Amino acid sequence: MEQTWRWFGPDDPVKLHEIRQAGATGIVSALHHIRYGEVWSIEEIEARQRIIGADPSLGLRWSVVESLPVAEAIKLGEGDLTQLFDNYRQSLRNLASCGITNICYNFMAMLDWTRTELRRVLPGGATALRYNAEEVAAFDCYILQRPDAEADHRPDVLERARAWMKKASESDKHNLLATIMAGLPGAYERYDVPGMRTMLKRFDGITRDDLRANYKRFLEEVVPTAEELGIRLGVHPDDPPFDVFGLPRIVSTAADIDFIVGAVPSKANGITFCTGAFGAGPANDVPAMAERFAPHIQFAHLRNVLKEPDGSFMEADHLGGDVDVVKVIRTLLAEQARRKGAGEDDWRIPFRPDHGHELLNDGERGTHPGYPMVGRLKGLAELRGVMMAVSAIDHQSR
């Protein structure tokens, strides 16, 4: 499997030579400075490629786009979307003309991944990302004051949410909003509380079925073009894989993936398999999902979570937590071997170590939340070791 690393561009505190030292050769990047819905020009794409390939001795290439964003108007099905669909297709054409054919995107309404703590301290001083159900409820019900929000939260969670509000300072409330927004590391726009209320009003009345219909329309508009270009589109699952702030989630379960790959059947219409995002769903059997949908996996994010009964979860070590990552890796390696045996040109499945703990001097570097240098290096080394061991064992057993 191709070892890749998410890099946020020239301003990323993690440098390209450090990524090579970690063992990755594929760069996962995006043009975050371009407004959602606008065309990614060939000039902009080539400029990023030149930066990535500036030192040929590193052997780096722009392997995966993460993400080519979907404009909110498309998710809403709002107004005349002709230009937005044209722009998305043109961006696909431009990427393909530059040799980039693996595209990750998501269809999460309004927000990307959502957490309430960015630095939960662990034994020894490392820090982790965490989702606390009571803090989400406190924000939803008593800061955002979304109508009827209390009905979406468990009574015990609401009780703890009220207790949190009683002791929270204005600074605590501001920091909670900033933490929720941190899941949009490349977003063009972020929201304050009034802005979130305004945006939520646009989604008011949009049901799960409505969002699914809008997503199906998006697939119908862009997948044929992707197929013509030899592009593989991989949708990232919702994170967390359940409704947040009343926003429906539609890429969260095995049933959701069945709907997606069946909506527009094509090799170009696949998934980015994120073990952490799927792993936060209590009903998701992640290894079984990997095996079931292996032919549709275009890209893999490998990380782990520890779940709690109230819906809270914390990001664990890459090989710790609730998800049997070793079993998932064995499935991915078997699928890659199948593709190679079938003579497919793009048989390699790129993967990256997803969110890592901040370790050692990571906290001093100013990296994006969830994307430390040392923590991800450790995760990549562990994952690489598992892959080598599984490959050796499977080879000996044949």
- Catalytic residues, by residue number, are 236, 274, 301, 354-355, 371
How far apart CA 275 and CA 301 sit, in angstroms, is 6
Residue 185, both tokens: 């590391």
Cα separations in angstroms, 132 against 10, 173, 237, 279, 280:
33, 14, 20, 16, 12
Cα–Cα dist 142/37, whole Å: 33
Closest CA to 374 of 364, 359, 385, 363: 359
